[in-house]
Amino acid sequence: MGKVQLKEGIAEKFVQSVTIIGGKAVAIIGGPIVKEIQGDGTKPPQTRTIPAATQSELQFLFKEGHPFLEEVETESQTKVKE
């Protein structure tokens, strides 16, 4: 299987694209998402980081038919075909 990536234009439309894989939240926009959560009278402010999806997680989502993802050929795959 080739490299799996977001389709063109998706990151601009869906700036904070997050999905759940195996009970874990992952960002599919190409990098982690950092959220600042304001404190209130009972809770202090917090920073929550949602990690970027790994290539294996993106491949899993692609196989499951996620509409935001596409497979692209890598340079090494192109050389093998020639």
The sign one gets for the Cα dihedral 24, 32, 70, 76 is negative
Condensed to tens digits (0 to 9), the pLDDT of residues 38-80 reads 999 899 999 999 999 999 999 999 999 999 999 998 776 555 5
Which pLDDT does position 18 carry in this prediction? 92
Residue type at 46 in one-letter notation? Q
pLDDT band at 82 (very low <50, low <70, confident <90, very high): low
**Spatial CB neighbours of 43, under 8 Å, sequence gap ≥ 6:** none
CA-to-CA separations, 66 to 1, 10, 17, 62, in angstroms, rounded: 16, 12, 12, 5
Contact 4, 55 (CB under 8 A): yes
